[in-house]
Amino acid sequence: MVDSSDRQRAHDEFLAEAQELIESLSRDLLLLDESQKQGQSNPDALNDLFRGVHTLKGLAGMFGFERIGSMAHVLEDLLEDLRLGRAELTQHTLDVLFEGADGFQRLMAEAKTGELADIDLDAFSTLIHSVSKAEQSAPNILADYDLDPGMLSVLTEYEEHRLRTNLEHGSTVYRLRIRLPLDVIDSALEDIKQRCKNVAEIITYLPSMDGGGGDSIDIEMLMASQATEADLRAALDRQDGKLTVVQRRVRISRSPDPRPPVPSQRPKDLPEPTFAQAAPARTQAEQSASLRSLSSVVRVDIRKLDHLMNVVGELGTVRSGIGRVVEKLRNGGDAMRELASETHRIHRTFNRYLTEVQEGVLDIRMVPLSQLFDKVAVIVRQTARDLGKDVRLLVTGSETEVDKLIAEELADPLMHIVRNAIDHGVEFPEQRAASGKQSQATVTINAYHKGNHVVIEMSDDGRGIDSASVRESAIRKGLLSDQAVADISRQELLQVIFMPGFSTAAQVTDLSGRGVGMDVVKTNINRLGGAVDIESEEGVGTKVTITLPITLAIINALLFEVRGRLMSIPLASVQEALRLDSSMIGTIEGREVLTLRGETLPLCRLADLFKFAGESPIHSFVIVVVVGNRRLGLAVDRLAGQQDIVIKGLGRSLANVPGISGATDLGDQRLVLVVDAASIMDEVLAPKGNHLLVGGPS
């Protein structure tokens, strides 16, 4: 009898593996879409897509997810028709396939939550069959070529289709006979496959029946290419292979199918040959090594990593406590110095191993942004087609890594930015042509590390932001007064776009006009301890820059005091800290500013901002914080060192306290608040009369 914990474990395993498959399907669809737009075929991507859907169908059936299995089944039928040339890969067909991928995502949500997704599988099945069409009878072009009947007899239906398609498109078919050592046959075949990848398509390969030796085997390979024989030989770069052209023969009369009824040497239902089919039986040691390589990646629930990270964070506070004990022992006289020395050695060793554990856990949590950008690419395609616009996406820096939880929280902000760019920024093709631009617009995403932050830049080459429209909309919606609009700069005006309720859309649509898009972006990014900036030039385009910490798990923080209250701020946001001199302070348009090495930046007195009571100190300090492209000076009373901290939430009732992102335990029964540099900067730099902070922590 299977208990509930086993069922839950199996359920979670299915969801994790199915999610990976669905994300892979989206990537393959994007490759197919790009190839189709360029008028090229991409049989590899189509095969990968077919195999992925087939695998998903099998998994769904095994674990009892019937609706996912049903959708996979009808999609598999369409993909089989596409693979065998019975259906044409058009943009309409791709739309249907993308709709299927989106359907999988909704059915996955159904499997996770138990809430039935609004998907009519019968209607989707009807749609699938409407884009398939029966294969038209055509002359057997294979009979026109001097192809070996024995090799033809073992071609699968798909391989025969690929061979016929290549011949119909004017490709030259080659036979390659090559002798390979048995002990390296897999790697040798993989090497040949990679060498031919850009110049030829390998139709099939199988062992020759009349060649080889005790420690080697002859492989017969059939390949098709548009390249010249010389170019193909250069790509292969193997002197030990015999390459010959399959000649077209003169036919006097049409004869029946030339293939004799030779028993098949490979099952006919396999989609393509595998290297293992030509390899000899492996030893137990080789099989064990293969199993180890397959199990080198372990899927871990992120909640378990969160728990482990919390434990590591608590160990960090223990480390700080040990450090303080060491200092007290050192100051305890001669009798304590020997004990202090021994405790210091233990503390140093503990610190070294804890640092390794911290770095290891953080590394496990890191994921490449490509996982997120693949989803953005689907949104770009769908939004552009819904609006009738021609948009291409260019991505650089997709290998940049960020904490898994940050990557997940980035999904909604990136979606809103992309939809806004295509809906509001990108012009229709005819409008772009009339203004001298290329009819196809470009949306660019660039990601890179900058210190302890990750920066994501999203730009478009559209019409840019109309300042007059922003001013008029801000006044009409009561977000800014007439005087405030008149006094602010263009850069400050652009920040109005992130205010709640702002929108320049003339009417509400499925994509825009509700005034929540860019507000959601700023709220989500600020909650992650990051910042969002916007630059725009009318007629040229717009760029939105998101700056985020690489991780939120363990943070090195600067400790400081304000009116006797100990507080902290993530060190990643701190550019420098120095003593504040009255000669450095000035006033511009009624606001205090700080002049530092010839540059002027706004100054914020935290005691005034949070309305802390108490006497001002004789001497004070300024902490210069940087969030994105903006700088701000925070006036504090005293600097109190730095320490690794783990930020804890303040609970539901205090979750949205302005200017504060959480609290932390310093390990000596002292709890301190963690300052949110991004929201404080928004308050200080907001146009006059539109401040965000209405109170502060007591």
The DSSP result for 464-522, as a single string, is ---HHHHHHHHHHTTSS-HHHHHHS-HHHHHHGGGSTT----SS--SSS-SS-HHHHHH
Q: Is residue 110 within 8 Å of residue 69, measured between CB atoms? A: no
Beta bridge partners, 398, equal none
Averaged pLDDT, 337-355: 77
CA angle 165, 169, 171 (to 5 degrees): 95
| Count of C-beta atoms within a 10 Å radius of residue 75 | 28
E strand spans, 264-319: none
pLDDT for 545 = 92
pLDDT band of residue 267 (cuts 50, 70, 90) is: very low
Residues paired with 460 in a beta bridge: 443, 542
Strand pairing partners for 675? 660
Taking alpha carbons only, the member of 271, 381, 368 closest to residue 29 is 381
Q: Is the pLDDT of residue 544 over 90?
A: yes
Gap between the Cα atoms of 696 and 680, Å rounded: 11
Give the per-residue pLDDT at 664.
84
Say which residues have a Cβ less than 8 Å from residue 162's Cβ, sequence separation at least 6: 43, 201, 203, 224
* CATH 1.10.4160.10 fits domain 4-131: no
Rounded CA-CA distance 206/203 in Å is: 11
CA-to-CA distance for 269 and 127, rounded, in angstroms? 26
Nearest partner of 538 among 612, 462, 597, 460, judged by Cα: 462
- Residue 203 structure tokens: 């139709």
Question: SS3 of 587, please?
Answer: strand
Q: Is 640 exposed, middle or buried (0-12, 13-18, 19+ CB in 10 A)?
A: middle
For residue 62, what are its two tokens? Answer: 């095994």
Provide the CA 204 distance to its chain's centre, in angstroms. Answer: 35
Quick one: which H or E segment has residue 64?
Answer: none
pLDDT over threshold 70, residue 508:
no
The pLDDT of 630-635, averaged and rounded, is 91
Q: Name 622's bridge partners.
A: 578, 635
DSSP state of 553: S
Mean pLDDT across the chain: 79
Among the ranges given (133-147, 217-231, 563-577), the one the predictor scored with the smallest mean pLDDT:
133-147
Amino acid at 183: D
Q: How many CB atoms lie within 10 A of CB 477?
A: 16
Q: Is the Cβ–Cβ distance between 206 and 154 less than 8 Å?
A: yes
Which of the four pLDDT bands, split at 50, 70 and 90, describes residue 250? low
C-alpha distances (whole Å) from 352 to each of 316, 374, 482, 625 are 11, 38, 59, 30
CB of 150 within 8 A of CB of 265?
no
- Please enumerate in sequence order all residues whose Cβ is within 8 A of that of 462, keeping only pairs 6 or more positions apart, or say none: 421, 424, 425, 426, 427, 441, 541, 542
Could you tell me if 176 and 241 are in contact, meaning their C-beta atoms sit under 8 angstroms apart? yes
Give the residue with greater pLDDT, 642 vs 270.
Answer: 642
| Dihedral angle over CA of 312, 318, 324, 330, nearest 10 | -100
Amino acid at 520: V
Pairing of strands 660-665, 172-181: unpaired
Q: How many CB atoms lie within 10 A of CB 12?
A: 13
pLDDT band at 422; cut points 50, 70, 90: very high
Are residues 419 and 386 in contact, defined by beta-carbon separation less than 8 angstroms? Answer: no
How far apart (Å, rounded) are the C-alpha atoms in residues 166 and 16? Answer: 38
Q: Are 304 and 12 in contact (CB under 8 A)?
A: no
- Cα dihedral 44→50→51→54 (10° resolution): 180
Is the pLDDT at 60 greater than 80? The verdict is yes
Identify the pLDDT of residue 603: 92
pLDDT for the residue 247: 85
- 410: nearest Cα among 326, 331, 256, 520: 520
The larger pLDDT score, comparing residue 694 to residue 237, is at: 237
pLDDT exceeds cutoff 80 at 15 = yes
DSSP at 648: B
Measured CA distances, 549 to 184, 279, 634 (Å): 46, 49, 20
Which one has a higher pLDDT value, 268 or 631?
631
Read off the pLDDT of each residue in 363-383 and give the average, rounded to a whole number.
87
Residue range 143-252+260-280 forms a domain whose CATH class is: alpha beta
d(CA 333, CA 414): 60
Q: What is the pLDDT of residue 256?
A: 44
Instruction: Check: CB of residue 18 under 8 Å from CB of residue 59.
Output: yes
> Would you say residue 559 has pLDDT above 80?
yes
CATH topology of domain 555-685: OB fold (Dihydrolipoamide Acetyltransferase, E2P) (2.40.50)
pTM of the model: 0.64
Place of tokens 């999988």: 104
CA angle 580, 586, 590 (to 5 degrees): 130
Are 415 and 381 in contact, with CB atoms under 8 Å apart?
no
Token output for 368: 């490449």
Q: What is the DSSP letter of 228?
A: -
Residue 506 has pLDDT above 60, yes or no: no
Q: Which amino acid is at 601?
A: L
Q: Which CATH superfamily is domain 369-549 in?
A: Histidine kinase-like ATPase, C-terminal domain (3.30.565.10)
Q: What is the CA radius of gyration of the chain?
A: 32
For the beta carbon of residue 486, count every other beta carbon within 10 angstroms: 9
Among 2-11, 396-405, 616-625, the range scoring the smallest mean pLDDT is 2-11
